[in-house]
């Protein structure tokens, strides 16, 4: 649960950090939990699958429509729902590549 240091607003406890690379900086919750606290938003998500407010973009995941993803609107405007680049695009070392120290020791 997050708390704003300026105003003291507490994020509802059902929003939690998504696990894994495909979630990146997104929060997730179940649609049933959102029904309890914000039924208007949950109804809108069921109809449109994606909606926005002044702070966040929301998306109902397919195909089972169980999970709601939430992303800060600033990040959403920059890259939509794609994962943040450093989560997925980290360059892996080529195992066949010779290291500089190995080349120096061969001489």
- With the CA atoms of 22, 84, 78 and 5 taken in that order, what torsion angle do they form, in degrees rounded to the nearest 10? 90
Which residue, chain included where needed, has tokens 């109902």?
60
For every one of its 107 residues, what pLDDT tens digit does the chain have, with 9 covering 90 and above? 578 888 888 888 889 887 765 667 889 999 999 999 899 999 999 999 999 999 999 999 988 889 999 999 998 988 888 876 554 445 666 666 666 656 666 66
Query: Which of these, 67, 66, 68, lies nearest to 58 by C-alpha position?
Result: 68
* pLDDT at residue number 56: 93
**pTM beyond 0.85:** no
């Amino acid at each position: 649960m997050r708390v704003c240091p300026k105003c003291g607003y507490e994020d509802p406890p059902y929003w939690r950090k998504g696990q894994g690379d495909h979630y990146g900086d997104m929060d997730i919750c179940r649609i049933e939990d959102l029904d309890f606290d914000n039924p208007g938003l949950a109804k809108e998500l069921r109809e449109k699958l994606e909606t926005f407010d002044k702070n966040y973009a929301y998306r109902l995941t397919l195909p089972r429509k169980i999970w709601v993803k939430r992303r800060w609107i600033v990040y959403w405007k920059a890259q939509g729902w794609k994962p943040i680049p450093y989560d997925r695009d980290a360059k892996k070392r080529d195992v066949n590549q010779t290291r500089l120290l190995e080349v120096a020791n061969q001489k």
